[in-house]
């Protein structure tokens, strides 16, 4: 059995197969210029389970090394690094989920989980609003009337979302605090110069570039499409996060509550970010539909698409809310929007979202390790 | 889609580096080109898909090449390895060509990278392909497709019709059917015959049964044989080629570069009688590994065992197959199916002959043996620290040098020493003109790129005037 298959395999077999493939790559090294994974691999003579999780999270799934590989299936060596590493990352996510038993959530279909949670929460909000005070819920409120806070008091909203978000952050932090030492590093070393370099790589997605030519998405012909759509997604997300943060400061520090006019910092950030979160996830979904299935481990498609759909819907409903905030439909838009946002927060530590953190850690580790001497081998 | 009534400007036989270079050049010059590759699409590109670099002459540092590798030094290197079995005229064409062909390669999508870990000693002389030879082959196929070269896979050429000094047509099989293709010129670039075990056996005797073929199973030399029978002038002989010692556990074909075992110079090598048979420390392994194929081929059953102890583990490039490991020599002998008494005796005698020096695997150190035959002249250390490790070795054939003679226009020469009008040969099938013996890392791709491009250009000139 090989990780190049689509069949499920026990963890031990996956690690063993990864060791086998990495031995092949390490004896070959032709792909050294594509990304950070190969130089990191070449520092090692043997591969422990820890190494494999580290290398797995360094691989950006750009696909270049699959097409360049003279040993890719159907060759009997069955070398398919992108799929292998995708499977390894799946194990990392499951293993470092906190609390541990929730790691099982990765076995479910991500899209279904995301949509079911989003719509159930939305329905709850809607029922609470519509049954609790239908007149208010279905009435049109002007911006001056405080629009959605007329329906849900700000403190209740902030408190509820803050609590869920805080829990997600704690859960993510628990992954961080365990994975970093697992890779064999000191916590104090995380916040050094390599952190800046790792962040640089994450913000530019340098490794999602196949060594400068782009990656093999959506087709074997290299392009930067995937990196660009990820940038839309990533920066869109950051802008929305910034919008929320600015609004929180306005509210609590400057005593200037929402809603804000179209020309205001939170609105501008949020609108820009929202557009990014429409274009990015839509583009990534399109690529996913078109790409060579050999590049991925297909049972993870649900996990990826789950996050993509949530992000897209958050943005779509957010923009809808903004446009129709002074109409009677506002209550319904609000319920659905909040449903998606809360679903994102809830599923954050148990879905695709965690990739950003593990990837960043692997990148920082790479820059830490890069400075250390390589074990000496005979001149070849 | 296959139009057999058409007469093409150029037919290219084969689908590796030399074939693609010829097809691209001719297409760029405006020819209509059909390329017939015998392998299925996934395994296209012959031995070229296993390569990693080409050797380039340069007078000053270039992008990824350090220092200078001047013509004279390159020529002397070639002269040394071939012992003079080379055509100076053709060789110098290759050297010159390599100093200027890379921009053209890059135009067609080939990318270069600095030398790989473990190959720094080649940073001055060899330009490495980003992603290796398969990435290069993919880039050329993409370019050929964009430019409108007609490519067919699983198209095995079985006959070449020649009249006097001219090519008329070729026969090939595709999808179980036999077709004829006519063209005004042909470039033959279908490699050597190293995948043809029967032919190897004719040359090497029964020992060839135990050879492993490092590259493509599709280079069977049928067209080479046919050309020689139809009057082409032979170059080199069937025994010449590149033959190295590789891990005996490798697949019969297509194991590629990764089956190397770089432990040899740091330990001892014994045959199936558990006896040593050659100086393992004669020189750095990359300089010597090309003789070990023949050395192992000369041993009973064509098998050898590289044996090292714990002291040197981690000091050589990690081979693809894990070593066979044991806590004592006797146990190792049993696992390798060697006679334990005999192995113990060999190691005892070897250890007794080791003179203490300062071991340093990065230089030619002063660790030698005394009073033992064969001697070990560098890196001789007692084999005494458990665990012990063994790697079984077999001869691995890379490519053969037997080929057809060509002139400076890459035209095939006939037995009456006259060049053909419209038959060109490029790559492995004519490499013996430049490389009659020995090997210089990266020269295979240099020869193929040079004569592939010349063949394409000259064929275009012939066709379009
Ligand atoms: C493991 C390995 C590593 C190597 N590394 C290097 C290196 O780093 N640098 C270097 O310079 N050289 C290297 N070489 C040598 C190099 O591969 C060859 O010199 C070079 O590839 C020859 O190119 P070619 O186009 O002539 O032949 P090939 O690339 O072998 O192409 C021959 C083509 O002809 C096709 N063919 C054969 N018969 C027929 C037929 N009857 N009909 C139709 N098609 C046919 C085959 O399918 C194949 O596509 C290496 C070789 C091996 C095996
Ligand atoms: C440290 C920061 C990050 C890095 C290095 C990073 C890197 C990557 C890489 C390499 C991929 C492609 C391979 C894969 O599917 O795993 C990917 C996919 C994805 N990323 Fe990120 N990411 C980061 C942060 C984020 C953030 C903050 C978001 C948005 C909230 C995001 C959203 C996505 C989505 C939705 C996918 C799936 C795309 C698909 O299925 O094709 N990423 N990321
Ligand atoms: S993916 Fe294939 S070509 Fe690339 S380093 Fe690994 S074995 Fe070599
Ligand atoms: S990032 Fe790309 S080149 Fe690097 S290991 Fe992953 S798939 Fe291969």
Contact B113 A211 (CB under 8 A): yes
Does the pLDDT value for residue B8 go beyond 80?
Answer: yes
Do residues B271 and B168 share a domain?
A: no
Query: Using CA atoms, how far apart are residues A259 and A275, in angstroms rounded to an integer?
Result: 19
Do residues B341 and B428 share a domain?
A: no
Does the pLDDT value for residue B3 go beyond 90?
Answer: no
Do residues B178 and B44 share a domain?
A: yes
Size of interface A-B (CB pairs under 8 A): 117
Contact A379 B362 (CB under 8 A): yes
Two tokens, residue A84:
């292998």
The closest residue, in CA terms, to atom 8 on ligand 4 is: A65
Contact B134 A65 (CB under 8 A): no
Q: In Å, how far is B107's CA from the nearest CA of chain A? A: 13
Strands (E), A88-189: none
Residues of chain A contacting B129 with CB distance shorter than 8 Å: 30
CB A236 within 8 A of CB A277: yes
Summarize the confidence of residues A203-228 as an average pLDDT. Answer: 93
Contact A70 B315 (CB under 8 A): no
CB B245 within 8 A of CB B394: yes
> Given A45, A67, A220, which is nearest B314 (Cβ)?
A45
Dump pLDDT digits (tens) for B21-66.
999 999 999 999 999 999 999 999 999 999 999 999 999 999 999 9
More confident position, B251 or B289:
B251
CA of A59 to the centre of ligand 4 (A): 5
The residue with tokens 């819907």 is A313
Specify the ligand 2 atom closest to the Cα of A61.
13
Contacts for A342-346: CB closer than 8 Å, 24+ residues apart: A342/A117, A342/A118, A342/A121, A342/A160, A342/A161, A342/A164, A343/A114, A343/A117, A343/A118, A343/A121, A343/A310, A344/A114, A344/A310, A344/A311, A344/A314, A345/A161, A345/A164, A345/A165, A345/A168, A346/A117, A346/A164, A346/A168
Residues of chain B contacting A36 with CB distance shorter than 8 Å: none
Contact A377 B49 (CB under 8 A): no
Residues of chain B contacting A75 with CB distance shorter than 8 Å: 43, 254
| Residue B362 confidence class, pLDDT cut points 50, 70, 90 | confident
pLDDT of residue A107: 84
CA-nearest residue to B118 within chain A is: A380
Rounded to the nearest 5 degrees, what angle is found at the Cα of A197, between the Cα atoms of A194 and A201? 135
Q: Is B373 exposed, middle or buried (0-12, 13-18, 19+ CB in 10 A)?
A: exposed
Would you call A373 an interface residue with chain B, using a CB distance cutoff of 8 Å? no
A209 phi and psi, to 5 degrees?
A: -135, 5
Q: Which residues line ligand 2 (CB under 6 A)?
A: A 60-61, 202, 208, 230, 233-234, 237, 284, 287-288, 304, 307-308, 311, 352-353, 355-356, 359-360
The residue with tokens 């102890």 is B309
Does the pLDDT value for residue A230 go beyond 50?
Answer: yes
Dump pLDDT digits (tens) for A98-133.
999 898 888 888 888 889 989 999 898 888 888 878
Summarize the confidence of residues B299-316 as an average pLDDT. Answer: 94
How would you classify residue B367: left for phi > 0, otherwise alpha for psi between -120 and 50, otherwise beta?
beta
Residue B337 lies in a domain: yes
Domain termination site, one of B373, B396, B419: B396
Residue B236 lies in a domain: no
Do residues B411 and B329 share a domain?
A: no
* CA nearest to B307, candidates B265, B257, B365: B265
Does the pLDDT value for residue B2 go beyond 90?
Answer: no
pLDDT of residue A45: 87
CATH assignment at residue B284:
3.90.700.10
Do residues B61 and B116 share a domain?
A: yes
More confident position, B20 or A133:
B20
Dump pLDDT digits (tens) for A41-66.
999 988 999 999 999 999 999 999 99
pTM of the predicted model as reported, rounded to 2 decimal places? 0.95
Do residues B183 and B273 share a domain?
A: no
Residue B56 lies in a domain: yes
* CA nearest to B110, candidates A68, A36, A291: A68
CB B216 within 8 A of CB B46: yes
Q: Give me the DSSP letters along B330-399.
A: HHHHHHTT--HHHHHHHHHHHHHHEEP----TTS--S-EE-S-SS---SS-----SSSEEEEEEEEEEEE
* Mutation for B interface: A30, A39, A77, A212, most B CBs within 10 A: A30
Residue B82 lies in a domain: yes
Do residues B30 and B91 share a domain?
A: yes
Contact B256 A29 (CB under 8 A): no
CB B213 within 8 A of CB B252: yes
Residues of chain B contacting A39 with CB distance shorter than 8 Å: 117
Q: Is A157 exposed, middle or buried (0-12, 13-18, 19+ CB in 10 A)?
A: middle
The residue with tokens 């890069």 is A370
Do residues B420 and B379 share a domain?
A: no
Give the number of other Cβ atoms within 10 Å of residue A219's Cβ.
12
Does the pLDDT value for residue A380 go beyond 60?
Answer: no
Q: In Å, how far is A25's CA from the nearest CA of chain B? A: 8
pLDDT of residue B1: 58
Summarize the confidence of residues B123-129 as an average pLDDT. Answer: 95
Q: What is the DSSP letter of B239?
A: T
Does the pLDDT value for residue A144 go beyond 70?
Answer: no
CB-side exposure of A143: number of CA atoms within 13 Å? 10
Ligand nearest to the backbone CA of A36: 4
CA of A356 to the centre of ligand 2 (A): 6
Do residues B308 and B276 share a domain?
A: yes
Angle between helix axes A81-95 and A49-58 (nearest 10 degrees) is: 110
CB B307 within 8 A of CB B368: no
Residues 6+ apart with CB under 8 A from B341: none
Summarize the confidence of residues A345-361 as an average pLDDT. Answer: 96
CB B261 within 8 A of CB B393: yes
Residue B134 lies in a domain: yes
**Cα–chain-centroid distance for residue B111?**
21
Query: Using CA atoms, how far apart are residues A209 and A214, in angstroms rounded to an integer?
Result: 4
Contact B133 A70 (CB under 8 A): yes
pLDDT of residue B381: 96
Residues of chain A contacting B290 with CB distance shorter than 8 Å: none
pLDDT of residue A134: 85
CB B456 within 8 A of CB B64: no
**Cα–chain-centroid distance for residue B322?**
25
> Given B42, B266, B321, which is nearest A378 (Cβ)?
B266
Contact A70 B49 (CB under 8 A): yes
Dump pLDDT digits (tens) for B183-198.
999 999 999 999 999 9
Return the best residue to mutate from B43, B45, B48 for the ligand 1 pocket (most ligand atoms within 8 A of CB): B48
CB B264 within 8 A of CB B270: no
Q: Is the ipTM of this complex over 0.85?
A: yes
Whether the CB of A31 sits within 6 Å of ligand 3:
yes
pLDDT of residue A113: 86
Do residues B164 and B267 share a domain?
A: no
Domain termination site, one of B396, B427, B444: B396
CA-nearest residue to A22 within chain B is: B320
Contact A39 B117 (CB under 8 A): yes
Percent pLDDT > 90 in chain A is 70
* Mutation for A interface: B317, B360, B364, most A CBs within 10 A: B317
Dump pLDDT digits (tens) for B236-260.
999 999 999 999 999 999 999 999 9
Do residues B417 and B386 share a domain?
A: no
CA-nearest residue to A74 within chain B is: B42
Residues of chain B contacting A24 with CB distance shorter than 8 Å: 258, 320
Residues of chain B contacting A33 with CB distance shorter than 8 Å: 111, 113-114, 130-131
Q: Which of B97-106, B112-121, B234-243, B368-377 has the lowest mean pLDDT?
A: B112-121
Summarize the confidence of residues A290-304 as an average pLDDT. Answer: 94
| Residue A378 confidence class, pLDDT cut points 50, 70, 90 | very low
The closest residue, in CA terms, to atom 28 on ligand 2 is: A234
Residues of chain B contacting A221 with CB distance shorter than 8 Å: 142
Provide the domain count of chain B: 2
Q: Tell me the pLDDT of chain A averaged across its residues.
A: 92
Two tokens, residue A353:
């979202």
Query: Using CA atoms, how far apart are residues B237 and B192, in angstroms rounded to an integer?
Result: 12
pLDDT of residue A377: 56
Dump pLDDT digits (tens) for A300-343.
999 999 999 999 999 999 999 988 888 888 889 999 999 999 99
Do residues B457 and B373 share a domain?
A: no
The closest residue, in CA terms, to atom 2 on ligand 4 is: A62
User: What is the span of the domain harbouring residue B458?
Assistant: 7-211+221-229+401-464
Domain termination site, one of B369, B396, B423: B396
Two tokens, residue A255:
């005593």
Residue B128 lies in a domain: yes
CATH assignment at residue B432:
3.50.50.60
Contact B113 A377 (CB under 8 A): no
pLDDT of residue A305: 95
Q: Which residues line ligand 1 (CB under 6 A)?
A: B 13-19, 36-39, 45-48, 50-54, 156-157, 189-191, 214-216, 218-219, 222-223, 256-257, 398-399, 427-428, 442-445, 448
Summarize the confidence of residues B424-438 as an average pLDDT. Answer: 97
Residue B349 lies in a domain: yes
Residue B238 lies in a domain: no
């Amino acid at each position: 059995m090989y990780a190049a298959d689509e069949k499920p395999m026990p963890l031990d077999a996956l690690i063993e197969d990864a060791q086998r493939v990495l031995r092949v790559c390490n004896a070959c090294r032709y792909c050294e210029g594509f990304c950070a994974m190969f130089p990191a691999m070449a520092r090692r003579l043997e591969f422990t389970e820890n190494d494999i999780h580290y290398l797995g999270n360094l691989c950006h799934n750009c696909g270049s090394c699959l097409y360049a590989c003279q040993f890719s299936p159907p060759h009997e060596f069955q070398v398919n690094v992108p799929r292998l590493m995708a499977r390894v990352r799946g194990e990392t996510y499951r293993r470092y989920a906190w609390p541990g038993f929730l790691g099982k959530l990765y076995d479910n279909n991500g899209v279904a989980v995301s949509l079911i949670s989003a719509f159930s929460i939305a329905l709850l909000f809607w029922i609470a609003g519509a049954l609790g005070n239908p007149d208010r819920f279905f009435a049109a409120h002007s911006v001056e009337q405080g629009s959605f806070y007329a329906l849900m008091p700000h403190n209740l909203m902030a408190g509820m979302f803050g609590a869920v978000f805080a829990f997600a952050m704690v859960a993510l932090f628990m992954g961080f605090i365990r994975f970093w030492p697992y890779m064999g590093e000191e916590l104090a070393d995380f916040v050094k110069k390599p952190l800046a370099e790792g962040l640089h790589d994450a913000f530019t997605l340098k490794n999602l570039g196949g060594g400068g030519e782009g990656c093999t998405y959506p087709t074997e012909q290299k392009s930067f499409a995937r990196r660009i759509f990820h940038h839309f997604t990533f920066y869109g997300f950051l802008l929305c996060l910034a919008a929320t943060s600015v609004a929180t400061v306005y509210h609590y520090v400057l005593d200037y509550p929402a809603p804000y006019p179209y020309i205001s910092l939170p609105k501008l950030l949020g609108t820009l970010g929202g557009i990014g979160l429409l274009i990015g996830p839509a583009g990534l979904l399109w690529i996913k539909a078109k790409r060579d299935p050999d590049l991925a481990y297909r049972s993870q498609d649900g996990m990826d698409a789950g996050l993509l759909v949530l992000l897209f819907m958050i943005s779509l409903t957010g923009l809808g809310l903004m446009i129709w905030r002074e109409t009677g439909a506002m209550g319904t838009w609000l319920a659905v929007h909040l449903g998606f946002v809360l679903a994102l927060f809830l599923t954050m530590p148990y879905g695709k979202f965690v990739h950003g953190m593990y990837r960043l850690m692997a990148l920082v580790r790479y820059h830490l390790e890069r400075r250390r001497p390589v074990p000496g081998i005979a001149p070849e | 889609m296959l139009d057999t009534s058409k007469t093409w400007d150029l037919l290219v036989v084969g689908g590796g580096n030399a074939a693609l270079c010829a097809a691209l050049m001719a297409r760029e010059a405006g020819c209509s080109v059909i390329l017939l590759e015998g392998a299925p699409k996934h395994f296209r590109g012959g031995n070229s898909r296993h390569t990693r670099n080409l050797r380039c002459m340069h007078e000053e540092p270039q992008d990824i090449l350090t220092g200078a590798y001047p013509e004279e030094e390159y020529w002397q290197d070639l002269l040394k390895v071939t012992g003079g079995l080379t055509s100076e005229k053709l060789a110098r064409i290759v050297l010159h060509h390599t100093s200027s062909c890379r921009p053209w390669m890059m135009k067609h999508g080939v990318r270069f990278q600095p030398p790989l870990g473990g190959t720094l000693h080649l940073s001055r002389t060899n330009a490495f392909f980003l992603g290796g030879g398969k990435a290069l082959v993919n880039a050329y196929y993409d370019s050929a497709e964009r430019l409108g070269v007609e490519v067919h896979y699983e198209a095995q050429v079985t006959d070449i019709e020649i009249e006097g000094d001219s090519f008329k047509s070729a026969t090939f099989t595709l999808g179980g059917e036999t077709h004829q293709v006519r063209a005004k010129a042909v470039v033959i670039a279908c490699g050597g015959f190293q995948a043809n075990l029967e032919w190897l056996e004719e040359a090497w005797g029964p020992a060839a049964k135990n050879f492993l073929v490092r590259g493509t199973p599709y280079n069977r030399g049928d067209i080479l044989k046919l050309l020689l029978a139809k009057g082409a002038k032979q170059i080199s002989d069937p025994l010449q080629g590149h033959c190295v010692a590789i891990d005996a556990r490798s697949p019969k074909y297509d194991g590629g570069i990764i089956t190397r075992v770089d432990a040899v110079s740091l330990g001892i090598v014994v045959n199936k009688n558990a006896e040593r048979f050659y100086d393992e420390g004669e020189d750095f392994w990359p300089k010597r590994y090309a003789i070990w194929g023949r050395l192992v081929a000369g041993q009973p059953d064509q098998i050898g065992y590289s044996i090292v102890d714990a002291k040197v583990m981690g000091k050589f490039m990690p081979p693809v197959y894990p070593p066979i490991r044991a806590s004592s020599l006797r146990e190792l002998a049993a696992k390798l199916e060697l006679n334990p008494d005999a192995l113990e005796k060999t190691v005892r005698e070897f250890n007794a002959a080791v003179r203490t020096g300062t071991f340093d695997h990065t230089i030619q150190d002063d660790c030698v043996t005394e009073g033992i035959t064969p001697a070990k002249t560098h890196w001789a250390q007692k084999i005494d620290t458990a665990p012990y490790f063994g790697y079984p070795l077999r001869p691995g054939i890379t490519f053969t040098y037997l080929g057809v003679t060509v002139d400076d226009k890459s035209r095939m020469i006939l037995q009456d020493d006259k060049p053909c009008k419209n038959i060109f040969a490029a790559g492995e099938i004519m490499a013996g003109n430049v490389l009659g013996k020995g090997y210089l890392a990266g020269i295979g791709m240099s020869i193929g790129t040079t004569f592939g491009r010349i063949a394409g250009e000259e064929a275009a000139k012939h066709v379009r005037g």
